[in-house]
Amino acid sequence: MPRINEIFQSLQGEGHHAGVPSVFIRFSGCNLRCPFCDTDHAAYALMTNEEIAAEACRYNAPWVILTGGEPSLQAEQELVDLLHQNGKKVAIETNGTHPLPPGIDWITLSPKTGICGEADLPLRIDRADEIKVVDTGQPLDPYFSLGCRTPRTLMYLQPCFVADEKERQANIRRTVERVIADPRWTLSAQLHRFLNIP
């Protein structure tokens, strides 16, 4: 059974759908160990796909976001089908190192190559609607060569969020400067953090 950290409704805070009401299904567990991860992997409930879909469909938001952790390790075709049958559009936020169930409506790839230790695993997806890169100061050109990228793939650069205020502001300045210097990128500002919502 999938391990679910939480299910809640809020506004999407990142990428192309920033500001759109969405239900978030946060899976617990990941195959990477990123130092900036914001998921408590020790806290979860075991739920069936039917229970997950029923909880998500209590909310009126049109989009359901499968996130984590790494949702592709546990998200199953049955869950995607149940959400679609209830009129929901399904998006996933993934590191791309594990195959996805078919039928996902929007794929956000957040590759962690070069910033999470064992993260240099090969990509196992062949499509990304948007690529969201957490900016830790790493070289950015390689992201434009990813095999799942097409001319229509949107490219977002996001400041690395840290607890220390001075370091956080420095990260934001660096990312803004990098986006201005290379307009192939769009800034992903993590709207939910500025609004202080989940």
Positions marked active-site:
24, 30, 34, 37-39, 93, 192
CA dist list (Å): 10 to 1, 13, 14, 24, 198: 25, 9, 12, 8, 6
Query: Are 178 and 185 a contacting pair, CB within 8 Å?
Result: yes
Q: What is the DSSP letter of 6?
A: E
Strand pairing class (3-11; 21-27): antiparallel
Helices (H) and strands (E) in the chain, counts: 4, 9
Rounded-to-integer distance, Cα 53 and Cα 55, Å: 5
Q: Phi/psi at 44 (nearest 5 deg)?
A: -165, 160
